[in-house]
Amino acid sequence: MLSRIAVRPLQPRSAVFSCRPRAYATATRERVRIVEVGPRDGLQNESAVIPPEVKAELVNKLTKAGMDIIESGSFVSPKWVPQMAGTAEVLKLMERHQGLHYPVLVPNLKGLELLLDLLSKQPKPEVPYTDEIAVFTAATDAFAKANTNCTVAESLERLSAVAKRATSEGLRVRGYVSVVIDCPYSGKVDPANVKSVSQALLDMGCYEVSLGDTVGTGNPTTVDRLLRTVIEGTGGIPASKLAGHFHDTYGMGVANIFTALNHGVRTFDSAVGGLGGCPYSPGATGNVATEDVLYALRGSPFEAPGDLDAIAKVGTWISKALNRPNASRVGRALEARRARKQLEKERENDGGAAEAISSKL
């Protein structure tokens, strides 16, 4: 029988990994949690299947760059999302650290059983492969049917069993609600539906619900309207129980985060290099880039985990590994700055011979 896993509360990352501009070192800044979803949500829409070794290396690089919550994979059927094949191997290969969290997406009881079986066979002294799962549903029946072949009500019934079993085994459970602004199949989404679905996830045991602008059409006005409905009024959900998950299709990801901050939300999902998209949302681009979020928070009353320069280098690396453009504006700017500095260094060392090289770049 599987031994129960001790639940560990989320712990703040050591200050050595915090992104804290020197000019504000003495100021008291409120902490914002970042859930790095690049290795899971970021890779699921790639056209090519990524080897487990590359996924594990991505997690390791993000850990070294200071990220303390890294969504590391998914126990979905490879038949439907082939890019998520090999999650068990990824969890075994990657370096895990005490006090950090590596949640995985679990769509149903079958996926949970696969995870629990994996955990039951892990040597006891090791840091657990994971101590948290994420479950997902949608705010519209149309999207839920396209994604999971069932209605929202049916998906909530299925997820209730998953959450109950997971919590009984000592796992934390986080919930996702997709298409909270617009649905690619049924259009504008009623914020009241988002509120009721979010409450259902909390009632079944989720400690937090991430509100996903899956299509990426949200802007500060529509996000403000959504959060006013969800947080305020009868049956309002505390902002501390919510997270923001904004795709950057129209370049509104960072602006939407600041709108959510004004409503008291303090947890956000992002992906290094702006990785992502959604197989069931045609036209949606990647998640808001982690680099862009960290840069936007500089000089603000908020601090977040992660070293910006180190994360930008990870974004450059994974973008090249996937043979795709780096979608992070900040990441591209920092990459260009590093290239300029390298060129200047070469000029100093060779007395200007690098000029001929630079003219060919």
Q: What is the 3-state secondary structure (H, E, C) of 249-299?
A: CCCCHHHHHHHHHHCCCCEEEEEHHHCCCCCCCCCCCCECEHHHHHHHHCC
24 vs 316 pLDDT, higher one: 316
| pLDDT at position 156 over 60 | yes
Q: How far apart are CA 102 and CA 93, in angstroms?
A: 13
Q: Is the pTM of this model over 0.85?
A: yes
Alpha helices in 41-121 (DSSP H): 52-64, 87-93, 109-120
Arithmetic mean of pLDDT over the chain:
89
Give the pLDDT confidence score for residue 46 in this predicted structure. 78
Token pair 């009721």 is found at: 196
Helices 253-262 and 290-297 pack at an angle, to 10 degrees, of 50
How far is C-alpha 270 from the geometric centre of its chain's CA atoms? Answer: 5
Q: Which two tokens stand for residue 225?
A: 């309207």
Helices 52-64 and 308-321 pack at an angle, to 10 degrees, of 170
Token pair 């619900």 is found at: 209
163-172, 174-183, 284-293: the lowest-pLDDT one:
284-293
Phi, psi of 287 (to 5 degrees): -70, 160
- Which residue is catalytic, options 19, 183, 206, 278? 278
| pLDDT at position 20 over 60 | no
Q: Which two tokens stand for residue 304?
A: 């977040």
Alpha helices in 137-286 (DSSP H): 141-148, 152-168, 191-203, 220-231, 253-262
The total number of residues shown for the chain amounts to 361
311 vs 86 pLDDT, higher one: 311
> What single DSSP character describes residue 86?
T
CB neighbourhood size of 191 (10 A)? 19
On whether the CB atoms of residues 188 and 224 are closer than 8 A, the answer is no
On whether the CB atoms of residues 197 and 177 are closer than 8 A, the answer is yes
Cross-strand bridge partners of residue 245: 212, 269
**What single letter denotes the amino acid at residue 74?**
S
Side-by-side strand order, sheet with 18-19: 18-19, 302-305, 30-31
Collapsed DSSP state (helix, strand, coil) of residue 164: helix
Q: Which two tokens stand for residue 206?
A: 């989720």
69-83, 88-102, 206-220, 313-327: the lowest-pLDDT one:
69-83
On whether the CB atoms of residues 61 and 314 are closer than 8 A, the answer is yes
| pLDDT at position 355 over 70 | no
How far is C-alpha 189 from the geometric centre of its chain's CA atoms? Answer: 22
Q: Residue 278 catalytic?
A: yes
Burial class (CB in 10 A: 0-12, 13-18, 19+), 108: middle
> What pLDDT digit, counting tens, does each position of 206-217 carry?
999 999 999 999
Give the pLDDT confidence score for residue 28 in this predicted structure. 86
pLDDT band at 346 (very low <50, low <70, confident <90, very high): confident
